Amino acid sequence: MTPDDAPAAERVTAVGFHELDTRMFRRSWPDPQLRPPERGAIWVDRVRHLIGTDPGGCWVAERDDELLGIVVSFVREKMWLLASYAVVPDSQGLGLGQALLAPALEHGRGCLRGMLNASSDPKAVRRYHAAGFTLHPQMFVRGSPDRTQIPVVEHVREGTEGDFDLMDSVDRRTRGAAHGVDHELLIRQFRLVVSETSSAQGYAYLDGGVVLLAATDRRTASRLMWESIASSDDVLIGHITPENSWAVDVGLAARLELNQEGYLALRNMRPPKPYLSHGALM
Ligand SMILES: CC(C)(COP(=O)(O)OP(=O)(O)OC[C@H]1O[C@@H](n2cnc3c(N)ncnc32)[C@H](O)[C@@H]1OP(=O)(O)O)[C@@H](O)C(=O)NCCC(=O)NCCS
């Protein structure tokens, strides 16, 4: 995949993920072409960043000039990560997905660990299981919070680029690999908040809920999640593994709805905690 392929690749994911997007986000865009442009723009920006920082992990399948499938993978500190993977609906289930995943997995051959957010598509789950990933079911909370339940949030401040070293160190402690250059992308796209006391640290990117959260203890993680709930009337917080039951506690205390969707797929590692992963950058 080249940077010029990114807009057409975004269209492949819009069509390939249409059913999942509609179910997960409860926003009905009946025609995949109607996926909100701002979501598409974030996708293109992210994929160009990943091609720029790790081109060997990104591949396309094409017939004539038409893209039929895409895979976007990348490596950070000996961890292989899968950001996006889709085949257009008419070509699914015919082996194209397997052919695309093979060079992406090969790109991560020297890695110790692997991590990705899997959809509930049974075809995707078969591919990840066959590649040696263990599947950890995930929950999400969403809805309009009961504002009378939101506590005063202390020790949380706006974050800046000056916090990246602290954040990378929290990443290594929770996830086993820093996000590194990905923080440069995330801070452009989302609001960053940081919590730092003498004994605990954590950070979160927020956008109508939590986009990514990592902390050294559950109390700090809960504080950051409360900040995300306090700053939005329409909250969606996903990627909650059972190991992160503190997030279920906070979500239900705010009277959000608890649901299940997808899996955190891991190779040679335990589910990170306290941690809510980013959908594509994990
Ligand atoms: C996931 C995806 C990229 C895989 O691509 P694909 O071309 O469909 O994959 P393949 O045909 O190589 O493999 C699909 C596997 O599921 C099996 N399969 C096909 N149809 C199936 C169905 N309806 N239910 C369960 N399994 C099915 C196939 O037999 C094959 O398994 P096998 O190799 O063990 O026989 C594609 O299906 C897709 O775009 N899905 C929607 C978007 C998505 O969920 N992406 C993953 C994001 S994490």
Q: What is the pLDDT of residues 202-252, one digit of tens each?
A: 999 999 999 999 999 999 999 999 999 999 999 999 999 999 999 999 999
- Res. 27: pLDDT tops 60: no
Ligand 1 centroid distance, CA of 98 (Å): 8
- Residues 170/216, Cβ–Cβ less than 8 Å: yes
Distances (CA, A) of 73 to 79, 81, 100, 114, 166: 11, 6, 11, 11, 25
pLDDT score of 28: 47
What's the predicted TM-score (pTM) here? Answer: 0.94
Determine the distance separating the centroid of ligand 1 and the alpha carbon of 216, expressed in angstroms: 37
The backbone torsions φ and ψ at residue 90, rounded to the nearest 5 degrees and listed phi first, read -65, -20
Nearest Cα residue to atom 4 of ligand 1: 97
Half-sphere exposure of 150 (CA within 13 A, CB side): 17
Q: How far is the CA of 110 from the centre of ligand 1 (A)?
A: 26
Atom of ligand 1 nearest to the CA of 262: 48
Whether the CB-CB separation of 76 and 182 falls below 8 Å is answered with yes
Query: Which pLDDT tens digit goes with each residue over 117-164?
Result: 999 999 999 999 999 999 999 999 999 999 999 999 999 999 999 999
Q: Burial code of 8-44, b = ≥16 C-beta within 10 A, e = fewer?
A: bbbbbbbbbbbebbeebeeeeeeebeebeeeeeebbe
Summarize the confidence of residues 28-51 as an average pLDDT.
80
Query: CA-to-CA distance for 133 and 79, rounded, in angstroms?
Result: 13
Residue minimizing CA distance to atom 5 of ligand 1: 97
Going by their DSSP bridges, the two strands 79-87 and 113-118 should be labelled as: parallel
Question: Per-residue pLDDT tens for 167-213?
Answer: 999 999 999 999 999 999 999 999 999 999 999 999 999 999 999 99
Q: Which of 11, 22, 123, 136 is the best mutation target for the ligand 1 pocket, counting ligand atoms within 8 Å of the beta carbon and taking the most?
A: 123
| pLDDT class of 17 with cuts at 50, 70, 90 | confident
pLDDT at 34 over 80: no
pLDDT for the residue 16: 83
Compute and round to an integer the Cα radius of gyration of the chain.
18
| Residue-averaged pLDDT of the chain | 94
Of all protein residues, whose CA lies closest to atom 3 belonging to ligand 1? 86
As a whole number of angstroms, the distance between CA 265 and CA 66 comes to: 30
Query: From the CB of 124, is ligand 1 less than 6 Å away?
Result: yes
Contact indicator for 186, 212 with CB cutoff of 8 Å: yes
- Using the mean position of ligand 1's atoms as its centre, give its distance from the Cα of residue 188 in Å: 33
Q: Look at residue 227 and give its three-state secondary structure.
A: helix
